[in-house]
Amino acid sequence: MKWIDGGVTAPQGFAAAAVAAGIKYEDRLDLAIIKSDVICAAAGVFTMNAVRAACVDIARAYLADGQAQAIVVNSGNANACTGEQGWEDTVNMAAAAAEALALEPMNVLVASTGVIGAYMPMEKVLAGIPSAAGALSADAGQSVARAIMTTDLVKKEVAAELDIDGVKVKIGAVAKGSGMIHPNMATMLCFITTDAVVDSPCLQVMLKAAVDKSFNMVSVDRDTSTNDMVLILANGKAGGNVISDPESDGGALLQQALDEICIKLARMIARDGEGATHLMEVEVKNAPDLPTARQIARAVTGSNLTKAALFGQDANWGRIFAAAGSSGAEFEPHDVDIYLGRVMVAQDGVGLVFDEAAAAQALQQDTIVITLDLKQGNAAATAWGCDLTYDYVKINGAYRT
């Protein structure tokens, strides 16, 4: 696999566009469309929050047949907790995009992100959708990345090319996310496109597996959102044999590429955490099983005390160990070694006299690596988070205004 340019329009047969509809701010891209030339196999993974925006339930319903051809997405307004009006507005967004694109409404998926509890300014949205539909281009992937940003400081897009049975296949993806990020999805959106030939049941299995290794291993602030979704469209334009088994040779290659793309985006989200100055990477290795490894890694990245210690460059390994112990996972604390970077700070559950200067240097790196070696099995998992800074409070103290 090699990394290429292009984002969601890198695969064959996809076009995109973004416009400034004025949903929350004037002269800021805030509404985008991604469209395939043909009907796609499609799949989605959605927030586990019981409080959900209408777009989540509607997108899930529209995906019941495993097909879609376009995505319309807006920033600036989540259209969540807006009752029947919010549901109607979401349906109308899909219908308006379908009319502008000459598609069936059921083949258009809607996603929204922004302030919760505010009604969608539909006059602006319904004016923006035809404008975006009329500007579709195979070179406009970057505009989608900018249009879905809220408190994000950087756009997040990737694309890759791989060879499957002699056929060149491309995958493109775009994501947003900076705050309200925690495992079981977060305030994040991700849209993935590919020209691979995959049937929809297989695509759903593969997407869920990739999400479990990536977006569900990210935490910025322990808050999950109302609007999170990851959607994938596969239009088959690359040709070749149909992939219907994730464990086939072709399926394994596509799964690996999808995993790497989602992990890359997940790391971008964690590094761009609201107010963050460091990316935190927590590796749990030699765990008794995968669920235990994931549970402990997630607990450490979600620990506010650990995150604050990283911001202060304090080698307080006790906070890491305490977070692991409060994770609910079953493990033997007396076997655990803990490292900050390459510096061992605890062995067999007991603190060491370690090189404070070397530990401080590890905490000054842009990516701070924390390793917990459980020495109780062969399973491993990695999670990502960020430090907790003063700016996080400033950003969220005035988010709605």
Residues identified as active-site: 187
Question: Who contacts 397 (Cβ-Cβ below 8 Å, separation ≥6)?
Answer: none
Count CB-CB contacts under 10 A for residue 397. 9
Q: Give the C-alpha separation, 255 to 243, whole Å.
A: 11
CB proximity list for 132: less than 8 A, separation 6 or greater: 17, 18, 19, 31, 32, 33, 72, 100
- Structure token pair of residue 74: 């807006």
CA angle, 16 as apex, 14 and 21 as ends, to 5°?
A: 160
Say how far apart CA 37 and CA 70 lie, in whole Å: 9
Would strands 67-74 and 108-112 be described as parallel, antiparallel, or unpaired? Answer: parallel
Torsion of the alpha carbons at 390, 392, 394 and 399, rounded to the nearest 10 = 180
Q: For 272-347, where are the alpha helices, taking DSSP H only?
A: 290-301, 304-311, 317-325
Q: How far is CA 397 from CA 12, 343, 400, in A?
A: 43, 37, 8
Contacts of 83 (CB under 8 A, 6+ apart): none
Residue owning tokens 């007396």: 334
Q: How far is 296 from 148, CA to CA, in rounded Å?
A: 31
Query: CA-to-CA distance for 82 and 84, rounded, in angstroms?
Result: 7
Q: What is the largest CA-CA distance in the chain?
A: 69
Tokens of 368: 């701070």
